[in-house]
Each structure stands twice: as C-alpha cells, then as structure tokens.
Amino acid sequence: MNNQDLLYHYFSNSLTAEQEALFQNLLETDPDFKAQFKLEEDLQKAIKSTHTDRLKKKLQGFENQLDKPKTTIFNHRNLAIAASIALLIGWFGYNTLFNTNYNSLYDTNFSAYPNTVYTITRSDDAKSIEREAFVAYETKNYQIAIEKFDAIPKEAKENYINFYKAQAFLGLNNSEEAKNLFAQVVQENQGFEAESTWYLALIAVKAQDKDLAKTYLEDLITNYTYNKDKAEKLLKELK
Amino acid sequence: MHRVQENITIEDLKQGSDLLFKRIYEDNRDKFINFARKYHLPQEDVIDVYQDAYIIFYNNVMQGKIEEFTSSISTYLFSIGKYLIFDKMKKNNKTINPDFDLSLIREKEELVDSNLDLDQGELTTEQVLLKKYFGTLGKKCQELLTLFYYRGYSIKDIIEASEYTSENVVKSAKSRCMKTLKERINSNQ
C-alpha cells in the first residue's frame, strides 16, 4: 500500500488499526505526506462548504415559495396565456417549421425519469400496491404500472404518483395522456413541476409545435434549475 | 405525508432526491418553530437556525456520519437546533435568565448523537481558494471529487455508483482533476 492508498482509505473512513498507526507515523515524519494530507483535508472542507451553500440556497428557495404562494400561480397563469398564444402562432407559423428534425430532437433529449422516490428494496411495506407499481415502472411494464398507480387508494396517493404515471404513458407513446398529467402536476405545484415542464416541452417537440416547446423551455430556464443546460441547448436548436 | 416521513431511511435520503429533501424540510418546519418559541428569537433567526440545523443534519447523513437513525428526524433537528441557538446566544452574550449556565447545556454530549459533525464551515484562506477553483472545474471532476471527499466513497463504491470502469480509471481521473485544480490555483495566485 502506497501513501496515496493510505489517503484514499483515510477519506473513505476505512483505515485498519495498523494502517492508522502507519498514517500517524507518516504525518509526523514525512513533510510531503503531511502537506498532501493537509491539501486534501482542506479540499474536503471546501467541497462541504460548496454543498452547504447550495443547500442553503435551496432552502431559502423553499422558504420563498412558502411566503409567496401566489407568485407561482401568477407564473403558471402567464404560462397558460403564453401557451395559448404560442399555439396560435404555432398554427400560422407552420411552414417555418419545415427544416427542423423534431423526432431526432425528441429522441436525443428524451430519457425516462428514474424512480427516485420509492426504494424497492425497502422491506417494511413490501406488499404495498405502490411498491408493485414502481417495480413494474422500473422493469418498463408501463401498462401494469399505470394500473397499479390507479389502484393506490386515494388517501395513500403521494404527490409524485401522477408524475410517474405520466412517465409510464410516455413509455407507451401515449403523449396525450402524459401531457394532461404533466400539466396537472405543474398546476398542483407539489413537486416535480420543473421535471414536468421539461417533459411537456419534449412532448411539444414531438408534436412539432415549436413555439409551445419554446414557451415551456423558457419557463423552465427562467424559473427552475432542472435540466437548465439541456433546455438552453434545445432552445437554441429550435430557434 | 406523515406516513412517508416515518418510513424514511438513511438510504432513501442518501439517494439525494430533491423531493424528499423538500418534504422533510416542510414537514418539520412548523414543529421546529414551535419548539424554538421558548427562546424568544425573532422569526427570521428561527428560520435561519432551522435551515442551518437541517443542513448540518443532511451533511452528516450524506457524509456517512449518521449510520442509522437512533431517533426520529425531528429529534435530530431539535437537538442540533438547540445547540445552534445556545451557540448563537453565547456569541451574543445573551442568556435566557441569569441563573442559567449555558456551558452546562451546550456540551456535545447533550446531542442526540455525539458523532455528529457540527462544523458550520468557517474556512481558512487556503480553503477559500480551493472552494473558488473547485467551482471552476468541469462537472465530472466536481462530481468525482465530491464522491471522494464529501460522500466518503471508497474507490469500489465509486465504480459501483458511476460510469468509471476500473480502479485505475478512477485513480487517474482523480489525479487529473487534482492536477487541474492545483494548476488553476497556482496560475491565479
């Protein structure tokens, strides 16, 4: 084991007693080792501080949402108006869409959203319908997933169910049902709004509705951080 | 909503879901404000302390310092929050009443878990520089170094959790990132 390996083990908290003794000895006798350790220890604090700043910003964002629930409603109403206008413009501007390969843009940007809400290995409620739904979702049995999502009793239905149900519809190429559910998720404002806006944009791309897609992308870029880079790139490609 | 909270495990939190992060914040917020009422702090300060307590709790989970929950999440938040409030009062030379000896209370042993790292990250000059240039690294380097130093992943853990295929690939990617970081710091000194 070389000195670098000792440092790897130190930072993953996996030094054996023997390695620990060697580590302490090197710190006292080898100035280069000590300097390298100090650098990595400082970097550890710097990275933690970076994450702390990001978390604090997120929490302040939550707090602002709690303070001003009306702002988001206002934004969404604006979005609805903009979307209606975009639909009209989209209709008349149909011919200008000619040169864009919408299917390829959709395929490049689409990936099914991973299950981040339900841990399937969790054993405490292993028999629940929600678990069965997510097992079906993860194994891409989307029709079954939809049936199971629907079978979850109303009082046990979490806010994220509609989002994943919409994903399952996308998996079945049923954009219409998916679109309605994503729009509902955005309207309800209980989480996954940004993600839903992204998928609404992709559905609009697939439907070759350039202006509606742009409206959703602009909304995403202005109001959220999710997929911001991708959204900016896609927006450029649509222009 | 409460049903979910009771079932939350360390592993759930470690997956880094934003939705869960938000839900825990919202579920405990009012309870914390109620709990902190007895310290007569302005509402703004209470929210600030609540956020800092939550971040400390979350960092400890992500860094693997809490291995399993020995109490409910709200107990952790109250315990850390109380520590922070007393720390704040001590710094401001305020006491709740003259008979109250703060030093008795703010000992770490009073905490729900004595392994908790309560460091709120005041940085040295070197650390400030590292933080600045860490922020200029590419996404991949930031993620890799985060797994190493923030999450405390071993090389094997990193191979399992990422696209890296072998130990050597991880090691060389990491040393390239470190080299870039050092070069950027040195060329801007």
Chain B, nearest residue to A115 by Cα: B17
B157 burial via Cβ count (<10 Å: 0-12, 13-18, 19+): middle
Q: Does the domain at residues A69-238 carry the CATH identifier 3.40.50.10860?
A: no
Q: Are residues B132 and B170 in the same domain?
A: yes
Nearest CA of chain A to the CA of B97: how many Å? 32
Range of the structural domain that residue B57 is part of: 2-110
Record: contact A50-B131, CB cut-off 8 A: yes
Lowest-confidence segment of A6-15, A88-97, B131-140 by average pLDDT: A88-97
Find the residue in A nearest to B172 (Cα). Answer: A4
Asked if the model's pLDDT at residue A164 lies above 80, the reply is yes
Question: Which of A45, A66, A156 shows the shortest C-beta gap to B121?
Answer: A45
SS3 B61: helix
In a domain, B118, yes or no: no
Residue of A nearest to B154 (CA): A12
In a domain, B64, yes or no: yes
SS (H, E, C) chain A: CCHHHHHHHHHCCCCCHHHHHHHHHHHHHCHHHHHHHHHHHHHHHHHHHHHHHHHHHHHHHHHHHHHCHHHHHHHHHHHHHHHHHHHHHHHHCHHHHCCCCHHHHHHHHCCCCCCCCCCCCCCCCCCCHHHHHHHHHHCCCHHHHHHHHHHCCHHHCCCCHHHHHHHHHHHCCCHHHHHHHHHHHHHHCCCCHHHHHHHHHHHHHHCCCHHHHHHHHHHHHHHCCCCHHHHHHHHHHHC
Domain boundary at B87, B110, B133, which?
Answer: B110
Are B27 and A20 in contact by the 8 Å Cβ rule? The answer is no
Residue range A18-52, pLDDT digits in tens = 999 999 999 999 999 999 999 999 999 999 999 99
Does residue B26 fall inside a structural domain? yes
Question: What are the CA-CA distances from residue B58 to residues A59, A199, B14, B75, B153 (Å)?
Answer: 12, 29, 9, 14, 16
Residue A97's pLDDT band (cuts 50, 70, 90): very low
Q: Check residues B57 and A102 and name the one with the higher pLDDT.
A: B57
Residues B97 and B144 in one domain: no
Q: Nearest chain A Cα to B147, which residue? A: A12
User: What residue type is B97 in one-letter code?
Assistant: N
> In sequence order, which residues have a C-beta less than 8 Å from that of residue A235 and are 6 or more positions away?
A214, A217, A218, A221
Selecting from A9, A47, A56 the residue whose C-beta is nearest the C-beta of B146 gives A47
Nearest CA in chain B to A49: B121
Residues 6+ apart with CB under 8 A from B43: B33
CATH of the domain at B71: 1.10.1740
> By the 8 A CB rule, do A128 and A73 touch?
no
Of A11, A66, A119, the CB nearest to B149: A11
Is B121 close to A59, i.e. CB distance below 8 A?
A: no
Q: How many domains does chain B have?
A: 2
pTM for the whole structure: 0.58
- Give the separation between CA B81 and CA B53, rounded to whole angstroms: 5
Which one-letter DSSP state was computed for residue B85? H
Same domain, B62 and B140: no
Q: Which of A52, A115, A155, A161 to mutate to test the interface with B (most CBs of B within 10 A)?
A: A52
Band (A113; pLDDT cuts 50, 70, 90): confident
Per the CB < 8 Å rule, is B154 touching A47? no
User: What are the extents of the domains in chain A?
Assistant: 3-62, 69-238
Computed over its alpha carbons, how large is the radius of gyration of chain B?
20
Same domain for B52 and B144, yes or no, is no
Tell me: do B33 and B72 sit in the same domain.
Answer: yes
Q: Does the residue B151 lie in any domain?
A: yes
Indicate if the pLDDT at residue A95 is higher than 50: no
The verdict on ipTM greater than 0.95 is no
- On chain A, the residues whose CB falls within 8 A of the CB of B130 are 42-43, 46
- Which 103-162 residues of chain B touch chain A by CB within 8 A? 119-121, 123-124, 126-128, 130-131, 134-135, 145-146, 148-150, 152-155, 157
Q: By C-alpha distance, which of A122, A109, A180, A118 is closest to A145?
A: A118
Residue A76 confidence (pLDDT): 60
Query: What are the pLDDT digits (tens) for B10-26?
Result: 888 888 888 889 999 99
3 state DSSP class of B124: coil
B174 and B96 inside one domain: no
How does pLDDT run across B40-97, given as a tens digit for each residue? 888 899 999 999 999 999 999 999 888 888 888 999 999 999 999 888 877 776 555 5
Residue of A45, A62, A124 to mutate when probing chain B, most B C-beta within 10 A = A45
> Which percentage of chain A shows pLDDT scores above 70?
83
Shortest distance, CA A95 to any CA of chain B (angstroms): 39
The answer to whether the beta carbons of residues A175 and A196 sit under 8 Å apart is no
Contact between chains at A63 and B47 (C-beta distance less than 8 A):
yes
Shared-domain flag, residues B87 and B171: no
Q: A12-25 b/e with 16+ CB inside 10 Å = b?
A: beebeeeeeeebee
Partner A, chain B 45-104, Cβ-Cβ below 8 Å: 47, 51-52, 54-55, 58-59, 62-64
Q: Which residues of B touch A12 (CB under 8 A)?
A: 148, 152-155, 157
